[in-house]
Structure 1
Amino acid sequence: MQLFHSPLSPFVRKVMVVAHELGLADRLECVPSAAHPVNRDRTILARHPLAQVPTLIDERGDALADSRVICEYLDALGGPRLFPPAGPERWRALNLQSLADGLLDAALLVRYELTARAEGERSKAWIAAQTAKIEGVLGWFEGEAPGFADRVDIGTIAVACALGYLDLRFADATWRDRHPGLAAWYAGFAERPSMRASRPPGV
């Protein structure tokens, strides 16, 4: 299987953490890509119309995009283990993943606003609105952190990858000071072999 890959993408990292947890990482060939919100990577575009990372070329040669789809596909190959079966635990894990991905969407929009637009084109109101979403989700995570405990599922993996991205791109955000329970949980989860193996270069 081939994975169109960027080592700095938090969504790619989520896929890689899942692959490592399931023992499937050695079956993935990571293909470097230059996906960008403005200038799309034509190599990916030739395989999938969204031209985004991550995009997986599965064992049949079909292209799957979106980390949520790819992670569930890998889980089906390796288990399933990280996506709970139908019932309350599944919805809890999927909702947690959705919140973590929403935090990442907001963080990436801030990042793109600061790096893809000229300074005179940036919107302070837009940045403030996206930052408020991030803070709201972090507050929710802080309240839920005692229940994370030793859980290793798609929800907690997504949360950990989202927090890792904040450390990578917004190192001055000091989220740990405001969310000590979440910080304590993350300190332990971040040392899992799957998280260590997928750390962005230089982190």
Structure 2
Amino acid sequence: MQLLRAGPSPFVRKVLVTLHETGQFADVEQVDVTASPIEPDSKLIAANPVGKIPALIRADGPTIYDSRVICRFLDARADAGLYPERRLWDTLTLEATADGIMDAAVLMVYEMRFRPEDKVHQPWVEGQWSKVSRALDALNTRWMSHLNGRMDMGHIAIGCALGYLDFRHDARSWRTGRDTLAAWYETFSQRDSMVATKPE
């Protein structure tokens, strides 16, 4: 299998952490592509017509994407139990919350990177951060009992989302006022899978 990836994408990291946690890391060749929203790589477009990463090219079936589909596939392939039936809807909701954080945080980066400086719309940027901030507040107040339980895909996704905030938006100080979530992340970020995939 080949995993199409680019740079420090938090969505790619979510897949990489899943590969580590499920013992499948050696089964997948990582292939770097360009994932620019303006001029995406032709290899990426051939695999995923939307032109987004990650995409997983399989020998025995069509390419699958996005990160949620890939992680669910890898979990089933390894019978790892990262989507436990008993709390499936909570796990999926946490994963969706993390993906929402990552979507907004990546769009903030894109706004600054791909628009001319005089076209950057700061209220739009702040609107994206408001999504992130509300999600972080919800995690800190409503979801800690789940995050303190047995690890599932919700944990992995949230860990990768918070890691991306540190990497790209550290000046926003997401930990302020969210001591419980910050303490959880301090512990989770020390897992071998998180250390091995930390963006540089």
- Shorter-chain TM-score category? over 0.9
C-alpha deviations, 1:157-203, integer Å up to 9, x for none?
100000000000011111112211000000000011111111113xx
Amino acid at match of 2:166: D
Conserved 8 A contact 2:82-2:151: yes
Shift in CA distance, 175/164, structure 1 to aligned 2, threshold 3 Å: same
Distance 2:91 2:163 in 1: 19
Q: Which string of whole-angstrom CA distances, capped at 9 and with x for unpartnered residues, describes residues 4-58 of structure 1?
A: 0124000000001111110000001000111111111111112221222100012
Shift in Å at residue 61 of structure 1?
Answer: 4.7
Q: Which residue of 1 aligns with 2:28?
A: 28
The corresponding residue for 1:191 is: 190
Return structure 1 stretches of 4+ with deviation > 4 angstroms: none
**Partner of residue 117, structure 1:** 115
Corresponding pairs, count? 199
Name the structure 2 match of 1:153.
Answer: 152
Secondary structure of 1:70 counterpart: helix
Residue aligning to 1:73: 73
Of 138, 158, 163, which residue of structure 1 is paired with 2:136? Answer: 138
Aligned residue runs from structure 1 range 161-180, under 5 A: 161-180=160-179
For the aligned residue pairs, the C-alpha RMSD in angstroms reads: 1.2
> Residues of 1 paired with 2:151 and 2:197: CA distance?
16
Preserved CA contact (<8 Å) 2:37 2:51: no
Query: Secondary structure, in 3 states, of the residue corresponding to 1:63?
Result: coil
Deviates most, 58-67 or 129-138: 58-67
* Amino acid in structure 2 at the alignment position of 1:128: E
Under a length normalisation based on structure 1, what TM-score does the superposition of the two structures give? Answer: 0.94
Q: Quick one: distance in 1 between partners of 2:73 and 2:107?
A: 27
1:104 aligns with 2:84: no
TM-score (norm 2): 0.95
The alignment-based identity, stated in percent, is 40
2:169, 2:47 → 1: CA distance? 32
Unpaired segments of 5 or more residues in structure 1?
Answer: none
SS at match of 1:23: coil
